[in-house]
Amino acid sequence: MQRVCKNCKKEFKIQDKDLVFYEQVNVPTPLCCPECRAMKRLSFRNERTLYHRTCDLCKKDGISLYPQKTPFPVYCHTCWWSDKWDPTSYGMEYDKTKPFLTQFGELKNKVPRIALLVIDSINCDYTNNAGENKNCYLIFAAENNEDCAYSRLIMKSRSIFDCYATYESELCYECIDCKGCFKCMFSERLQECIEVLFSFDMRNCQNCIFCTNGRNLNYCIENKQYGKEEYEKKKTEILASFTSLEQAKNKYTELRAKSKVKNALSTKSNNATGDYIYNCHNGINLFDVRNSKDSSYLADAEDPLDCQDCNNLYFKPERLYNVMGTLQSTNCIAGVYIMYCNEVHYSDSCYNCASCFGCVGLNKKNYFILNKEYSKEEYLKLKEEIVEKMRKEGVYGEFIPVELSPFGFNETLAKEYFDLDKEKALRGGFNWQEQTTGTYGKETIKKGEIPDSIEKVDDKILNEILVCEECNKNFRITKSELDFYKRMNLPLPHKDFECRHKDRMSKRNPRKLWHRSCMCELKNHIHGENKCVNEFETSYSPDRKEIVYCENCYQQEVS
């Protein structure tokens, strides 16, 4: 079925299996294309923009996702989970004369929200959407880490800084999409590697520099074998100063562009399209997804079953539609941060609830509408009445209206993946945050004055204020950060952590797919004298320089 997106006016296809899913969850077919649907959900997820804010209940200073001028109160972790307030006291009677989502918006602007989404962490005040971490600083979408900083999508790691999508690793720096690594730096797509530097797509390698598509290598530079002394000399030269590191970065960029790439970073997956996926079966448009089955249009997901149009869902979610941010929930439609819930629809920040509709901030509640309790019979009758009215308005099944997001588009994940400027964002109905974070013009060390080598740095640097060479924002060096740089023999960074994050994101492929053909023309492959005829969906756009292989040709070249 072909459809024109209500938002961007582009054509998009609704798959036959999508129609089966929509029938199962009893929702109409979507009005917008997958990209616009994802953009709406992500506009409700602020991970990285943090503010100093006083708890509106206990009045203690703290860190929050929300700036001071939000219409609803914001409570610290202790107060929000305490018995000092009751979310049902904000309950509203459903008004048949008003649109339901208008009333839901009124409720959202009254009920207190938790300052940060952090679970069971120790000494991790500046983390968000994170759980079970210890001594971590500015890490996001992260779990079970210790002594880590400036990273996103990291798990079960220790002492890693400035990393993205890095798992079960230790003492790594500027690594992207790596797993099971130790002392690796400035590298991408490593698995089970030790002391690998400026390398791409490596497995089970040790002591490698400027290598690509390597398997079981040791003491190699540019994929050529060297002796240990020659290797150590080259490594020392690269890490000698910030200048030598920048030169190495440029060389790595050239080498990476010439490396062999598979159409998708997909492992143990069957009948699944997307990128950065592992053990996924029967799904399309999956990005950073692991262990999925019969699920589509997902991003940042673990163990989903029969889910569609969701992002940031973990702990075996099942039968979810249009949900942003959830843990172990089932049978939910159009929700934001609904945790351990069942049959909870059009709700925000609800925990351990079942059979709730249009609720905010509830915990362990059943049969609530707009935070007001009903008997089971009353709830089912009123819910059906509301749903029928929403169907007639053409909004049922669609995500929560973007104007109800408490965040500006420019402070959410939507900005990372859909780079709209202020004018386009406002035209699309999104909010925009005018209040900027950070300080400017307070630097005590000017541009060009940061020491070139870590050997020239002592603890006095902890009292200095640096300035980012790209955005001019001020930043400081923490004690744990300085200790890490000294241990790894790394020079101080010349950019603040946000600009470093943007640099890492620019190295990852977009969350978008193009239909392409394999570019392999090697005669020693199965296809012989003729060009490979395999076609696939890939996140490498046609204007990219890389030679993109299908699975078969890639495996023949890189084994």
Taking Cα atoms as reference points, which of 286, 282, 309, 285 lies closest to residue 294?
A: 282
pLDDT along the chain (559 residues), means of 10: 94 95 97 97 96 96 92 97 98 97 98 96 96 97 97 97 97 98 98 98 98 97 97 95 96 93 95 97 97 98 98 97 97 98 98 98 98 98 98 97 96 94 96 88 95 95 97 96 97 96 95 95 85 95 92 89
The whole-angstrom separation of Cα 249 and Cα 491 is 14
The whole-angstrom separation of Cα 328 and Cα 338 is 9
Q: What angle do CA 274, 255, 471 make, to 5 degrees?
A: 75
pLDDT at 350 (0 to 100): 98
Question: What distance, in Å, lies between the first and last C-alpha atoms of the chain?
Answer: 40
* Token pair recorded at residue 19: 């129609």
- Residue type at 189 in one-letter notation: R
pLDDT at 545 (0 to 100): 85
Identify whether the C-beta of residue 337 lies closer than 8 Å to the C-beta of residue 59.
Answer: no
Taking Cα atoms as reference points, which of 117, 42, 128 lies closest to residue 322?
A: 42
The whole-angstrom separation of Cα 52 and Cα 131 is 21
Q: What angle do CA 331, 511, 424 make, to 5 degrees?
A: 95
The whole-angstrom separation of Cα 539 and Cα 559 is 22
Query: Is residue 535 within a helix (H) or strand (E), and if so which, with residue range?
Result: strand 535-538
Q: Which DSSP state fits 304?
A: -
Handedness of CA 10, 14, 15, 17 (dihedral sign): positive
